[in-house]
Amino acid sequence: MARPGPDAELTSAQLHSSLSDPLLDVMNFLNEVTSRHPEAISFGPGRPYDGFFEVDRIGDYLTAYTRYLETDLGRTPEEVRTALFQYGRTNGQINDLVARTLANDEDIHVDPAHVVVTVGCQEAMLLVLRALVTGPDDVVLVTDPGYVGITGAARLLDAETVPVPEDEAGLDPDALLAAVREVRARGKQPRAVYVIPDFANPSGTSMPVDRRRRLLELAAEEDLLLLEDNPYGFFSRTGEHRPTLKSLDTRHRVVHFGSFAKTCFPGARVGYVIADQPVVTASGARTVLADELSKIKSMVTVNTPALAQAVIGGMLVSYDCRLREADKDLVDFYRGNMEALLAALDRHLPQDRWPVRWNVPDGGFFLSLTVPFDADDAFLRESAGDHGVIWTPMRYFHLGSGGERQIRLSASYLTPHEIDEGVRRLAGHVIERLTQGDR
């Protein structure tokens, strides 16, 4: 090897392996694809709708929070100043408000000390994986297809992820059991299972309640933790709300991730994790997993910005810790968009005429469209460049093979007119491809 020159230059081999993993490009792609094709209608990112946001409200929420600190908590003006401007507690400042909101909205009853407020749900996932993965023998199971944020966080920690197939009713407990046994047969430890039970990203599937109960039993039988992520739970299309795993959990088997990105707004980057699992330290002291996550957080972000917590705290106070009611218009908006997407597919790509199918999600942002050819990067480039429509290859969300012929469609931030026009364009491309196949 040649002696390195005096100017610093790094090669891929000198950087962590995660940086050569295509997985880490996917989320950047999802966030930035819209800006690369400004003219196209994009079903790509699961971006929240921001039409209800009002810049002037930020000041109102800050005022609501400072008034809450002064009036409800009896803080002095100096203490209020400190709460907004200084470093705060590592595990969060608005934990009480988060716990009250969870009780009202989700029937999840949790000690505020068992909540860690995080910089979005992504930080929470990293903290939990770092706590649970002790070395190369610890394995994280992830629904397949699954959310790239959890597999990406695992890559950063050199943690092995094992896919567990979903069916049309979400994570299949039998498939999970088989995966757990396969992992143990290899001499490895399945530590946790990541799952989005409601309106999953990317597939749009939801787990029936009996499956949820079976999953909890299995977690106890097999000594697993369930990592439940619930970003879309509010956004039911049908009006039905199934209980979260955490609300059914009597055995501390569920670590529950939540976020205010979709129910309040993403620009605050405030999420949280409920981690009430008892921990016994080497010295015999008893603590809970939230305290351990807090120690890790002190070396990741120190604490979640006080300013961001104050604005979200102010929103929670303003709505009496009942976001579900406050978000009624937003829930209606997303319901309307999912209905519009389903209607547009029926209109432009009828299943009785074309060999395609799609699932009918009970809610959330995402739907999965299956076509009889590979919906790959090349087809996506043609869609964007020639047809003015963007979507995400489901392939991106599978850990191994799978999803080659599936398209993830998100209609979360478009107007019904854009949805119809976008589906018309996509249908044009799909039909062009199908009829080319007839030549």
**Token pair of 119 as six digits:** 């910089």
Distance CA 154, CA 2 (A): 34
113 near a copy of itself (CB under 8 A): no
Distance CA 89, CA 91 (A): 6
Of 196-204, 273-281, 347-355, 423-431: span binding a copy of itself (CB under 8 A)? 273-281
Mask: binding to a copy of itself, 205-244, rule CB under 8 A, as x and -?
--------------xxx-x-x-------------------
Instruction: State how beta strands 170-171 and 189-195 pair.
Output: unpaired
Residue 193 Cβ, how far from a copy of itself at the closest point, in Å?
13
Residue 14 Cβ, how far from a copy of itself at the closest point, in Å?
7
Terminal-to-terminal C-alpha distance of the chain:
55
187 near a copy of itself (CB under 8 A): no
Distance CA 363, CA 334 (A): 8
* Helix or strand run (H / E) with residue 317: helix 306-318
User: Which of residues 38, 74, 239, 278 is near a copy of itself by CB under 8 A?
Assistant: 278
Distance CA 357, CA 318 (A): 43
Distance CA 110, CA 98 (A): 10
327 near a copy of itself (CB under 8 A): no
Instruction: State how beta strands 225-229 and 254-259 pair.
Output: parallel
315 near a copy of itself (CB under 8 A): no
Dihedral sign for Cα 11, 12, 13, 15, please. Answer: positive
Residue 347 Cβ, how far from a copy of itself at the closest point, in Å?
29
Residue 439 Cβ, how far from a copy of itself at the closest point, in Å?
34
Half-sphere exposure of 425 (CA within 13 A, CB side): 21
| DSSP 8-state symbol, 71 | I
Residue among 301 and 370 whose Cβ is closer to a copy of itself? 301
- Considering only residues 117 through 176, tell me which ones interact with a copy of itself, judged by CB under 8 A: 119-120, 122-123, 126, 130-134, 149, 152-153, 155-157
303 near a copy of itself (CB under 8 A): yes
Residue among 155 and 387 whose Cβ is closer to a copy of itself? 155
- Considering only residues 43 through 72, tell me which ones interact with a copy of itself, judged by CB under 8 A: 47-48, 50, 53-55, 58-59, 62, 66
355 near a copy of itself (CB under 8 A): no
User: Which of residues 73, 178, 299, 360 is near a copy of itself by CB under 8 A?
Assistant: 299
Half-sphere exposure of 384 (CA within 13 A, CB side): 19
Residue 160 Cβ, how far from a copy of itself at the closest point, in Å?
15
